[in-house]
A and B are shown apart, each in its own frame.
Chain A
Amino acid sequence: MKNRKLLFALFALVAMLVLAACGGDDEAATTEAPAASTEAPPASTEAPPATTEAPAAPTTDVTVGLVFDIGGRGDQSFNDSAYAGLERAGTELGVKFTEASPNDDGSNRAELLQLAADSNPMVIAVGFLFEGDAAKTAAANAGSNFGVVDSAMLDFTKDPPAPYGDNVSGLVFAEHQGSFLVGAAAALKSTTGSIGFIGGVKGVGGLIEKFEAGYIAGAKAVNPDIKVVSEYITEAPDFDGFNAPDRAKDIALAMYEGGADIVYHAAGGSGAGLFEAAKTHSEASGTKVWGIGVDSDQYNTVDPAVKDYVLTSMLKRVDVAVFEIIKAKVDGTIAAGPTTYDLSVDGVGYATSGGFVDDIAPQLEEFKAKIISGEIEVPTDPAAA
């Protein structure tokens, strides 16, 4: 009796560890590959100086310590986009950088920020989950600047809200504006008059709801009668929704079967499941359905087998933001508090890779111009969309 129990306990434990290891494996594999290229860029930068505008090799004392969100590099989305900005800063500004990812339970965020600050004057944290820890660490490390992606880094307990400290900057995006454009693209491309939205986690201070609101508004701007079905994978405090491709796939399949022919996701790593679902449904039913990616240009980052199902992606240019904040640090113009990256500075946008939206690009550009000029005001609350 006892032994059997223990055996079961062991089995469960081993299963858990193996699963954890499998999850890690993917990361390890994808991390390993670019790791090689981390070493490479400085070399390749020296090599073709002809192609870069600045003939003199850029030099600066600024070094950057970047801490990824859970999942780390290789998520084909948010973290990878941040890394692209970091690499560009390495190439164009000559900054050296180190990077790290938190434990799977995110328990060591503060430790990583401290380690980054120990040796770097510029620390970048990728993701709003760092807000509290970054504010605390920044207070104890006045010698370093901290930039947090996706958080305004404003202390809302103060009136009016003020930055947490002189050395804390927030990098935020007008995701609703970008989502408006892909919503419009979806409505222009839909043949069934029904489209879908999959959110990762509901109730995170309205963060993902902003995507939904913009998407619905964009779709309705094209076709007021369009039907938009929305579903969230999980609700806070359950954050699994950002990393549950299997559940995203189930939801997407149900949406496609319900008549939607284009589904947009704002669900981080779960998005892979959406594109798989698009492929599965298209092949089973014979009519092509689409998925829309988020954060980075997912046509280029998804599994090549499903890339032809990526209609477009809502680009959230984390790379632009990361590059700009490093540049500001190098130039000595870095400022505390939030900086919003919106359509006017190409902080958000839509992807054209694959050429699936080339035919409707004029309409999308028209919407874009109207948003920038203020003629269209994009809502951030789905209820108002």
Chain B
Amino acid sequence: MAEVVRPGGIGEQLALVAGLRWRLFRNALRTTSGQLDLAAQILVGALLGAIVVGLGLAIGAGAYAFAAQDRTGLLALLLWATFLAWHFLPILMATSTASFDFRSLLRFPLRFSVFFLLSLAYGLSDPAVVAALFWLICAGLGIVLARPELLPWTVVILAVFATMNLLLSRMIFSWLERLLARRRTREALAAILVLLILGFQLSTAVGARWQTRVRPYVRAALPVLQQLPPSLAGKALAGAVKGDALQALRFTGFVAAYGFAFGLLLRRRLRAQYLGEDLGESQAPAVVLRASGSPTASLSSASLAPSYLPGAVAAVFEKELRYVLRNSALLLLLAIPLILIVFFSLTFGSRRPGGSAPDIFTRTPELAFPGAVAYMLLILGQMAHNSFAYDGRGVQLLFVAPVRFRDVLIGKNLLLGLLVLLEACLVWLLISVLASPPDVLVVVATFSYVLFFLLTHFLVGNWLSLRFPRRFEFGQHRRRASGVTLLVSFGLQFVLAGMAAGVVLLARLWGWMWLVPVVFLALSAAALEVYKVSLDAFDRLAARQREVLTAQLCRQ
């Protein structure tokens, strides 16, 4: 009966995998949580889509103008923009997009060609790549609308450029995956990603501040940049616009050669995976450290929690603290607001050479401290919204142990609260040292807002954590929070920031600045009462949600 087993065609296998993905998507919608998740994603997608379309129109208009006015040299700039978006946005958005490990399909008799094509298709399904591709199409449309006779050349050059980008992005990710497979390199990489995000935020400031110093380096790098694919594709387009077919063909060939080289490197990586390379966590070498004496007893008895806390609360607090101390990306996240304060004070701390722009901290001293704290809260507040993410299968213990879930939540909230307050104190110290100590009223008002912010975030965060839990692997390229959590989180930040702005504006209008701390202390007292009452409700919610929590967090 072996004759029924025949090697499936490439198209057939690809269709099967597409069908599988569709089935997985449909099945995920069976639960209310899955449906809400999709609705939230559609909403967020619509918002982001509007931004993408707007930028696409701008790129298209730019391409139209450059082609119509024969300013062909500038076309390369548009290609550079899409190139950078194509390769950096997926990395920056890695933690907020869903992923499917198509390597799990390798247990089936999949041809290597299909596996290779699946990798490329997977690359195309990334929302950030879809956006970059859309911008490239917009650029092409702009050129063709300006010069219809360039349609064939534009299609060919941009298709080659897009293929090269696709191969390069998959190559980068396939090598990243290899690094991500090992726990230690994975964490290092997560830290690098956070730094990259930080660098992204600082790039404008660096450009503005050190324009004159950066310029020579940019000038020196230009010849190198000229040899890279976006510039080459730009030259190919310029050749087409000028009617120089040889130039267009030659530079298109160079871009294709890049694509071929990236394809070979990608093939090498995928071939290793196809032949059974194990990218599992087990590859991480366990470091066995033997210490003399009785290390176990000393390690276990070393307490990180205050002794006056009740047993279960102290245990959870201590466990959470150990998790924070072992999470390099999280530690870096905690350090970012402090780094930024130092950076801004060094960058804008003195008058610009030859300019008259005043010191940012001395110009608006009353805003420096609350502004820095607000930025810190923006980063750290979200940590309360998926607080079981790192617990994984350990969440089972929280249900079988003789503790009330309210104690677990208090332990988690307490640690985050203390971290935020400690960080706020450090921010105050830095501002005081680098600029001048903020006014007492400003400090009291800011801390009273922090208190209110924390309590409301604990209230909403505890509900979100129990209702929409998502497992998160340290530094892994996996989705972090549910769509609903992201949406509610965004909304809460918006509402709280609006409230703060409203209260401050009214206080300023009436000249009663003392009103700000009074209002937020009163709101904090009310929020504290609600928080206390909510703990019992969350205790009951946890009991109802135990199946969801264990199912979501224990899955491998």
A binds B: no
Which residues of A approach B to under 8 Å, CB–CB? none
